[in-house]
Structure 1
Amino acid sequence: MKLYNYFRSSASFRVRIALELKGLPYEYLPVHLVKGEHKQPGYGAVSPSGLVPTLVNDSGEHLGQSLAIMEYLDETHPRPPLLPADPVGRAKVRALAQLVACEIHPLNNLRVLKYLVRELKLDEERKNAWYRHWVREGLELYERELAQLPSSTYSFGDTPTLADCCLVPQIFNGMRFNTSFDGLTRTMAAYEACMKHPAFQQAQPSSCPDNEA
């Protein structure tokens, strides 16, 4: 398999975690978002939407969108599972994952932040304040959801799930912008448990070949 991705992309990070959790080898193909490589014609042939990540499977099929890719990996390589065995558990984990991927991340991805600066003329501090506000608000919702679940090592249960694959990259990016995580007790406990797991360590940006310190 091949993974077109960018070391700092939250969506790419999610898929790298899933691949590492499942012990699946892949070819790492960097696409530098800040330099605009995702807008070049060559990448357009890989991803019509021009987004990362894109997974190319062994049959040559091109798959986009991190949640879809991770569910594909879970269906084709079911061990270890990223979703619980029961329908209610799967729905709860998907809800947590989508809370990050659909409620927090879209407001703060690179193209949104660029629009705030270039078109709406926000200065750096106001842009960062926007980022911190929406990340913090979203993670407070995540914390409320966890408070309704039984105590566990990770977000849901005692093994990493799709939810953790989404949570950890969001925390990483929140740290870059000095987001406050005070009071997010269960959320940060799940994050810290994940970061002790080898798969999360191997997938993190600092371990990527295109990492820029």
Structure 2
Amino acid sequence: MITLHGFPFSNYHNIVKHALLAKGLDFEEHIAYPGSEALLAVNPLGKVPAMTTAAGTVLSETTVLLEYLEEKYPEPALYPADPEERAKTRRLMKLSELYLELPARRLLPAVLGSAVIPEATLEEVRAALQRGVTGLTALAAFSPYLCGDQCTLADIYLRYALAIPRLAGPSKLDWDIVSAVPGLREWDVMMAGSEIAKRVDADQAANADEFMAYVKKHMG
């Protein structure tokens, strides 16, 4: 059986978890936090997520896990069949990571702790997020999914990549990223309404206190 190593409060963990559920695959979750011995045992970088395949191979890095799942378990497909459309899907995934999730992640020390973010950093984050907003506005179809009528990995990736901008934007930048992209609010509601998203969100909420206690003890 596949084992997903990580924790339900992690958005990257949840990207892979959502893909596993969307493909209807049997898997188990092994709760392991960043830098812990349990996680280091399967990923020497101590990062979430990692995955042990049914064959016993241990893999890490979110995009690597997603590509493996798509190649190993091609049905139901989470990429369009057409190579051109697949490339567009990957482009939106990369945009979500580089211009939405990663910039906003720089604000987490202030959101989860008491760190003070310098004004220059705030402006850098805002500028990067604006590039993401501009790109998403231009490239996403929202008809009803990002790439058309099929839910793809771009939709799954963006849903969880938005977690940190959604968390940090209003409080640290006075900016609601979801409202800044026409059609994104409606897409967000649609995505949240799926049974898979409800399960992932419920597991995330249930893990919140334990994760925050871990942060306070080990990273505070």
TM-score range, shorter chain: 0.7 to 0.9
Q: Give the aligned partner of residue 123 of structure 1.
A: 116
Contact 2:109 2:115 in 1 (8 A): no
Change (3 A) 1:127 1:53: farther
- 1:94-105 → structure 2 map (5 Å cutoff): 94-105=90-101
**Could you tell me which of 148, 152, 172 is aligned with 2:163?**
172
The structure 2 residue matched to 1:89, chosen from 85, 90, 93, is 85
1:188 matched to 2:185? The reply is: yes
> Which 5+ residue runs of structure 1 have no aligned equivalent?
33-37
Question: Which of 117, 134, 143 lines up with 1:140 in the alignment?
Answer: 134
Unaligned runs of 5+ in 2: 210-220
The structure with higher relative contact order (CA 8 Å, sep 6+) is: 1
- CA RMSD, 1 decimal: 3.1
Partner residue of 1:72? 68
- The whole-number CA distance in structure 1 between the counterparts of 2:124 and 2:76 is 34
What's the offset of the Cα at 1:142?
Answer: 1.3
Deviations 1:152-207 (A, max 9, x none): 11111222111111111122332222241324122333222211221222222x32
CA distance in structure 1 between the aligned counterparts of 2:43 and 2:26, rounded to whole angstroms = 21
Identity of paired residues, percent?
23
Paired residues, what number? 201
* Aligned residue number for residue 35 of structure 1: none
Letter in 1 for 2:156: C
Matched AA of 2:188: Y
Question: TM-score under structure 2 normalisation?
Answer: 0.78
Partners of 1:210 and 1:22 lie apart in 2 by 24
CA contact (8 A) 2:8 2:200 kept: no
Structure 2 counterpart of 1:156: 147
Distance in structure 2 (CA, Å) of the matches to 1:183 and 1:7: 27
Once residues 198 and 56 of structure 2 are traced to their aligned partners in structure 1, the CA distance between those partners, rounded to angstroms, is 28
Q: How many angstroms apart in 1 are the aligned matches of 2:14 and 2:32?
A: 13
Shift of 1:114: 4.1
Alignment CA distance shift 1:6-1:25 (3 Å): same
Structure with greater proportional helix content: 2
3-state SS of the aligned residue for 2:208?
Answer: coil
